């Protein structure tokens, strides 16, 4: 019985530690006249990123924009270890969670676009 308690306590402690050890991120996405603007409120070194190239894609992480194929090691830092690809065209804004997200793909219909809030778990509409 004593060993069972230690095992259960150890598993609970490890799972709590692993969830708390990974910093989260919070990003608000707003539509602008020429594209979209991202405002990071937690887990990033940047505060604002803007995209105005319609029909192009861009990749970003907690430190900002990434060149195609560029990798950064964010583990061990106090930043959220995420990597997201943004595709933007006339019809749709698509976010692809490459790493550090529980989601794989989020889509926002551009004509009905309202500000949204994203984090590692998903997306919330801001009214």
Write the pLDDT tens digit of every residue in 61-94.
Answer: 999 999 888 887 766 667 888 999 999 887 888 9
Please name which of 71, 70, 64, 69 lies closest in space to residue 25, comparing C-alpha atoms: 64
CA atoms of 15 and 31, how far apart (whole Å)? 38
pLDDT value, residue 10 = 35
Residue 108 tokens read as 């926002």
Residues in CB range of 104: below 8 A, 6 or more apart: 96, 97
Q: Are 79 and 62 in contact (CB under 8 A)?
A: yes
Return the minimum-mean-pLDDT range out of 32-41, 75-84, 100-109, 112-121.
Answer: 75-84
């Amino acid at each position: 019985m004593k060993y069972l308690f230690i095992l259960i306590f150890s598993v609970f402690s490890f799972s709590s530690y692993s969830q708390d050890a990974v910093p989260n991120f919070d990003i608000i996405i707003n539509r602008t006249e020429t594209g979209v603007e991202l405002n990071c409120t937690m887990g990033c070194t940047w505060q604002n990123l803007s995209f105005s190239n319609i029909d192009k894609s861009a990749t970003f992480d907690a430190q900002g924009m990434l060149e195609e194929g560029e990798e950064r090691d964010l583990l061990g830092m106090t930043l959220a270890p995420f990597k997201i690809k943004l595709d933007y065209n006339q019809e749709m804004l698509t976010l692809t969670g490459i790493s550090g997200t529980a989601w794989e793909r989020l889509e926002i219909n551009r004509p009905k676009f309202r500000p949204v809030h994203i984090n590692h778990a998903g997306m919330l509409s801001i009214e």
